[in-house]
Structure 1
Amino acid sequence: MGTCSDIFFGEVIGTAVLILLGGGVCAAVTFKKSKAFNAGWVAIAFGWGFAVLTAVYMVGGLSGAHLNPAVTTALALTGSMSLGEFLAFISGQMLGAFIGAVLVYVAYYGQFMSHLTTDREVLGGPGTKDGEAPASGPGPVLGVFSTAPEIRKPWQNLATEIIATAVLILAVLTQGLNADGDGLGILGGLITALVVVSIGFSLGGPTGYAVNPARDLGPRIAHAVLPMPNKGSSDWSYAWIPVVGPLLGALLASGIYELAFHP
């Protein structure tokens, strides 16, 4: 692990790339004036997995590529990490997630503006004038930035995020336990990316699988502050679930690891 400066800048760059490519695939699938429009959940699951793969290999040598406060929390609980290092990880991840969301906005600016000002069918449905957002509720493009449940049941939504994140964190913590040497090395990034794809297919349906507080909160803040017409609500009433759920999932996974797997 490098210095706190290395950690901070590595996490900023890595998390920004993660959100740029992950949020980018959500934008590509969402907007009608995109060549990937309506490509579906398979594209999204693989897109996020490849985003993880790219970011991990890009900055792994600089910061260790946590890219996720849940990962950082779990590693802090099961290993040794100074407070300065912990804060460098978390602050870098949050800033990087915000920057990545802004880059998605820039890359798809024309699509955002067209979608928000001309698409009556997507924006409001029957009884809504062209270019108007719904009077309340999540904004019409929030899904490009952050997650939202298909069925809004807070206890279920929270449980889904806890379970999905626990799977991810256990996969990270147990890497290399059955391998010769100290770990899986360069293969670790590939395995983590494939786990993210698996979680997307298996557990992503109910909530959109945030499994990463920075991944959801940073882009949600970007949605709230970026200038977009008729963007509607950023759904702050739900925002605590993709933050608290992954952190609780990290605590659960850390406990299981210490009890069952720790050498």
Structure 2
Amino acid sequence: MSAFLGELIGTMILVTLGCGVVGGVVLNKSKSQASGWIVITMGFGLAVAIAVYAVGGISGAHINPAVTLGLAAIGAFPWADVPTYIAAQLIGAIIGAAIVFLNYLPHWEKTTDPEQKLVIFATTPAIRKPVSNLVSEMIGTFILVLGLLAIGANQFTEGLNPLIVGFLVLSIGLSLGGATGFAINPARDLGPRIAHFFLPIPGKGSSDWRYAWVPIVGPLLGGVFGALFYQQLFNGIHTLAFWLVGILCLLVILSAYFKNSSLKTR
């Protein structure tokens, strides 16, 4: 199997099981309806673990453009392969979302709220403040990529690594995911959002394209900085890119802070 197909299948598994658990929680007449955030975060953590088990030996199981770009930024992955990996991840995410649609076919008409249908496919913020939401996605993906590199540097029994990665995603979801739904993966959000737009979902409403840039830009910035941070502080490899991306992230954080502060004073 090629690395392209490995990334496609891995991301398909991630989205099928990850978005699938959201469908089970929010769709009417589902046996797991209203089982809550713990179930969703656990489902996503296990989805990542299974995807990594499935294709880790084939493509390295990036299954996330932020991971691919972060590894490329520190020289741990060839830049020439980045477009191929990201294309595979996006295609796999679209296919995974279509599988979720098929799995819950009888439930779409039973669910009347369009937003409930959208959240199965794409993330939406708990409080819509785009710059603050951007910061949340940056922080979550920073922890993800930093954690992945730290896990890879430890001497775990080889077969346990994917499970530990799943626990990392579970931890991010439980601790940080309540703000935005923790996309922490541009393909996981954009691919299913595209699927939502095209699929014949009864009463589906808007795909919320005005927000779609946040779970793309935030994870890419956070993922690249997480990789550069690990390289700088853990490996002692100093680069100009660390400071440039770090300053950019700081500017975004300050913008979010002052926007919220100015609202309080009005």
**Fold shared, TM-score > 0.5 on shorter chain:** yes
Does 2:231 align with 1:258? Answer: yes
- The unaligned stretches of length 5 or more in structure 1 are 124-132, 134-138
Does 2:188 align with 1:212? Answer: no
- The unaligned stretches of length 5 or more in structure 2 are 237-266
1:110-167 deviation line (CA, Å, top 9, x unaligned): 111322xxx4xxx3xxxxxxxxx6xxxxx44100001000100111100000001000
Is the partner of 1:175 in helix, strand or coil?
helix
- Structure 1 residues 261, 46: closer, same or farther in 2, change over 3 A? same
Superposition pairs for residues 171-250 of structure 1, below 5 Å? 171-179=147-155, 185-250=158-223
Does 2:73 align with 1:44? Answer: no
Task: Note if contact 2:68-2:77 (Cα within 8 Å) is conserved in structure 1.
Answer: no
CA distance in 1, matches of 2:21, 2:201: 19
CA distance in 1, matches of 2:48, 2:218: 20
Task: Note if contact 1:7-1:85 (Cα within 8 Å) is conserved in structure 2.
Answer: no
How far apart are residue 237 of structure 1 and its match? 0.5
1:19 aligns with 15
- Structure 1 residues 56, 229: closer, same or farther in 2, change over 3 A? same
Moved over 6 A (4+): none
Q: Which amino acid aligns with 2:124?
A: A
1:2-60 deviation line (CA, Å, top 9, x unaligned): xxx71110011110010000010000001121000000001001000010011100111
- Structure 1 residues 73, 140: closer, same or farther in 2, change over 3 A? same
1:153 aligns with 129
1:114 aligns with 110
1:144 aligns with 120
CA distance in 1, matches of 2:49, 2:153: 21
Of residues 69, 73, 77, the one that matches 1:73 is 69
How far apart are residue 255 of structure 1 and its match? 2.1
Task: Note if contact 2:16-2:99 (Cα within 8 Å) is conserved in structure 1.
Answer: yes
Q: Which amino acid aligns with 1:151?
A: I
Number of matched pairs: 236
